[in-house]
Homo-oligomer: A and B are copies of this chain.
C-alpha cells in the first residue's frame, strides 16, 4: 500500500479549461487577453537568453520593483508567484492547517476548492443569492482563510463593496481578495490593505497584461504576512524569462490601459448583442460575460460553437449549467461568435 494522503486520493484534481495547442480556434474560453503585449517587451530578451544556464534571482527583485511602481506599495510588501494560482496555494499552506477551514462562495473560481481539498483543509461554501451575489458580509468565524474574488467569476461582477469590507472587519482569519480581473473595472481594494491587517490582495499578469503563457502573479500585503508566505514559496518559483517579460510589461501602462478600454467597449457591445439574441446576460466588470441562451441548452450551444471552431466555457455546476462563459475577444472574433450564434438561432 502506497502512502497516498487521503485528502489527495479523495480529490479529483483541478480541471483547467481546454487549451488546444493549435491556433485554428477562436478561443473565448479561459479569459486570456485577446491582444498581445507590445513587441518592445521582447527587446531585452536576448540578453536574458545568454544567461539561461544561471539561476534566476530567487526573489524576483526587478519584477517586484516594477510591480511596486504600478501598485503604489513598497516592493517589500509584494511576493511574486508563478501565476496567482501559486499565490493562492501558498496562502492555504501558510495559514491553514489540514483540518482547519477555508471559506469561499458557492460560485467562484473553482481552484479554491481544489487546493483547499488537496491540502486536507475543511471547506465552507457560502451561498450566493439567485443572482449569484452576496446577500450580506461573509461570516465564517472558523475560517482561517477566506477567498473572495472581486470581480467574481463566473458572474464577472464586483462583490458588494460594503459586504466585502464588513467581511474583512469581522474575519478572525485571513481574507484574500483575488483581483485577477480588476483592471477591466474602475475599482480596487487597496484601501482595505491599509485598514485591515488580515487582508491579502492577489494579482495576475495573465489577464490584463497579456502574459497567461508566462505565469506571473503577486500577493500584496503587510510585511508580516509576506514574510511568512515567502517561506512557503518555492525558492526559485519564477524563471528568468518570466521575470523579465513581467517587468517589461509594467513599463507599457498607456498601451495596456488602451486595450483594457477596448475590451470594455467590446464587452458592452457583446452584452447588448447577446441580449438582442435572446440571452439572459449579466453586466460584467471582467473580461468575460456569463450568458444563458433562452432558446437552446447551453451545453448544446457550447458544442455547436465548438464545431464551428469557437470555444467558450461551459460548466457542469448545476446552478449554471444553462449558462456559457464567454471571454471578451477582439472585435472580429466577437463578430464571428455573434454570426455563428445568429445562424444557430435562425436554424432553431
Contact = CB atoms under 8 A, between A and B. Distances in A.
Interface of A: 2-5, 8-9, 11-14, 16-17, 19, 21, 23, 27, 30, 32-37, 42, 45, 48-58, 61, 82-83, 85-86, 89, 93-98, 100, 111, 118-120, 144-145, 172-174, 197-198, 206, 210-215, 224-225, 228, 230-232, 234-242, 245
Given A55-B206, A85-B235, A213-B55, A97 B94 contact: no
Copies in the complex: 2
A42 to B, nearest CB: 6
B3 A144 contact: yes
10 nearest A-B residue pairs (beta carbon): A13-B231, A213-B240, A53-B210, A52-B213, A3-B144, A215-B239, A55-B212, A241-B241, A214-B239, A16-B58
B97 A98 contact: yes
A14 to B, nearest CB: 5
Contacts of A8: 93-94, 228, 231-232
A46 to B, nearest CB: 9
Contact of A82 (B82, B232, B240): B82
A53 B82 contact: no
What is the predominant secondary structure among interface residues of chain A facing chain B?
Answer: loop
B97 A5 contact: yes
Given A8-B232, A118-B93, A174-B3, A53 B30 contact: no
A347 to B, nearest CB: 31
